[in-house]
Structure 1
């Protein structure tokens, strides 16, 4: 990641960070994920809702980058500034947890891809798959500790390399597109009423969140931007490009295979779709593209995960030891903590038959609170405008955008469902130890009255999950 004294990041590089962060493993799993949940009609509605909602979130990031240039540490600083130390901490913790869980999905999906050709890798969570993933994890870790020169620029190059296979996939599938198959898939159910369509759309919401995680990539690195306005421009430009890719991959796949067959594909399901068009070499081609994509996304996300802990420590929200750099300018302690937890989750994945989908849902759930707090801070900033660095209240358009973003992110919290929201407490409550350490270092009171209430609600959820798992009424 950029160190002090290095050249600032250009608009192209910042856009590459946004696209590189969002285009990882998720896009390669869209045909199966949507095939399980809905048909083309439901997919169009779901992507429209997600597109408008996340575009509003992108506009909020754009607006805040301009109106609050003093908050240069990205997503968690908005929560801290707007709602206090503990909610700022939970935002940082949630974002960090989403980043490391995203890295877990990358490893599982790569090994699942290899399982297409080497059965020992299975669905990416067999013993040999986890062992191989662990070796790769610590090889990457060692390389990063030595320092990656021009890491952000490298991410831009890799981003271009991984977009090309996706564009080739779209071209080949477009040529084989069959309108009759598409029409038969259209409703997504034999007797499609509004209630069933509504359920279909809800079932896709967490998938759309997962593939858009990374939209804040430029915001996290805002302090390195050559021009402050480039942060917002990169966020919106990168988002619109990725939305077009996601929509095309999803809808074109419905014109190649029946919905039921899409639902049965193993991940990466894009490989199965292209194989149906071209034969076995299509699966190999997509698999190579996935490996390139995941390698690039891993570089972006391990940087983001370490940066958020490092930035939070610098702003006294995390313990001081996470703000220390090694001689290469890498936040080594933050990197060690991140990859140790990734290792733990890789081991846990061996004991779940649905490791990839659970990791996807958990990644999406963990990112919801940071996004919700950013949207809420956007509303607060636009309505009040009472900070010296916020010159005036927001325009009518900015206020509407922030309100829509808040409604959308609140709706996502509902769509996530109680199970996965409760499961997030398994990270929030143990993770609060880091907050206690930071407050103790500064010799400050731990919580105010509101923060005690928030902590109590999370603790109640934590013990409810432990009790439900112990009784067998909740299966992870």
Structure 2
């Protein structure tokens, strides 16, 4: 698709991953974790998430190396392993997840701007909608100019966003107070370790950790544009390792600056007020500027992911052919336009609820569990069918990744599981349309069974929707 001079090197691939992962979430991460867990449980949560998401990253690296023909993003693993309908559900879920995530970016960006300009205070009002809309279509304009220009700007922003994060980590380590850190280390309510309470806290942190890792698949999505196929796996692991260290440092050391109760009651973005406690008002200024820079980069990276994955879905006859049209700069222009129009409409959620960021981020996490689970299951399938010399290690990686994904489905809870089903079935209408357009059989026999399950869960979701909205 792309000309040779526009192929992506390993730095650009890593830039997409880090920019996609480190976006809005990290600057409110201490609060999101403290709302659910104590310092001790937060450490356990990152260990579990690191192993689980690390296994998923290794699965992506392995599949990318062993299946070089599958360069249409992570959904191509689902399509190849489990058929067109599961491939469609995977790409539909991924596309919707990234779109919802982009809307969540808007609320935190303008919450940060509200620190400097009170008109945007809270990030969920009319001026914020107008401002977010301007940012949205400015990013659209940049991407339309070409992938090379967009990824170059993204790499510069990635470097810029790491500066305030490094400053934050250095400062909280310097101001660390072990007395505060070990106060009620295992629970907000007791000094003692109580296993059922710890497990409950762990369960509540799972969607938070998945949300902040969304984007780890960035290099795989753009594998068809990479200069070297081997760079895809390397970029995935390097990007994942980098952000894991950053995440653990920021959240864990924050408990040595403020108590869990204090952190969980902070306004967004919580990191600003934690650093302000250490170095004064300059800390809040540094973090809020970092938020703005970081989200701008993440917004670029995630928009690239959304338009690329929907374009690739069109190329593989899963999305309508309209998604495959390119402009003169080889950008999938219709995929980009459709994606950003949906984001624009969803920006209205800013004035629907005062918890837009938390709701949207966790919904985005819940929806993306389907494509991630398909990657883990395909890793097991490929390992079983090919039985190569590295099979034992790949089995272990696949089993851990699959178990972690299933745990996340359980941990996501009733509300987000139902909301996921409500987003999946409408996509089936597009799938049926595309199959008829290409004069193909709509469902294979086993896919009829899957469709019936999805439809039943959709009906159940509609019945339960009033209860969900009341929660």
The TM-score, its normalising length taken from structure 1, stands at 0.95
Equivalenced residue count is 469
Moved more, 187-196 or 300-309: 187-196
Matched, 1:475 2:470: yes
Q: What is the rounded CA distance, in whole Å, between the counterparts of 2:158 and 2:131 in structure 1? A: 24
* Alignment map for 1:379-458 (pairs within 5 Å): 379-385=380-386, 392=388, 394-458=390-454
- What SS does structure 2 have at the residue aligned with 1:71? coil
2:211 counterpart residue number = 210
Match of 2:67 in 1: 68
> For 1:185 and 1:23, how far apart are their aligned partners in 2?
29
Contact 2:110–2:128 (CA under 8 A) maintained in structure 1: yes
Shift of 1:84: 0.3
Match of 1:131 in 2: 130
Per mean C-alpha deviation after superposition, the further-off stretch among 350-359 and 458-467 is: 458-467
Q: What does residue 40 of structure 2 align with?
A: 41
Q: What does residue 328 of structure 1 align with?
A: 329
Q: Residues 224-257 of structure 1, C-alpha deviation per residue, up to 9 Å, x if partnerless?
A: 2222221111111111111000000001100001
Corresponding residue for residue 7 of structure 2: 8
Post-superposition shift, 1:125?
Answer: 1.5
Distance 1:202 1:425 in 2: 21
What is the CA distance between 1:437 and its match in structure 2? 2.2
Q: CA RMSD in A?
A: 1.7
Structure 1's consecutive aligned runs of 4 or more residues displaced over 4 angstroms after TM superposition are none
How do residues 203-352 of structure 1 correspond to structure 2 at under 5 angstroms?
203-352=204-353
Question: Is 1:461 paired with 2:457?
Answer: yes
Per-residue CA deviations over 1:88-139 (Å, capped at 9, x if unaligned) read: 0011111111111111111110111122343432322112211221222123
Question: Could you tell me how far apart the structure 2 residues matched to 1:185 and 1:232 are?
Answer: 41
Q: Counterparts of 2:115 and 2:460 in 1: how far apart (Å)?
A: 39
| Structure 2: unaligned runs, 5 residues or longer | none
**Relative to 1, partners in 2 of residues 1:149 and 1:12: Cα closer, same or farther, differing over 3 Å?**
closer
Q: Which moved more, 1:243-252 or 1:63-72?
A: 63-72
**CA contact under 8 A between 1:382 and 1:393: conserved in structure 2?**
no
**Residue ranges of structure 1 left out of the alignment (5+ in a row):** 387-391
Conservation of the 8 A alpha-carbon contact between 2:113 and 2:292: no
Preserved contact between residue 112 and residue 289 of structure 2 (Cα < 8 Å): no
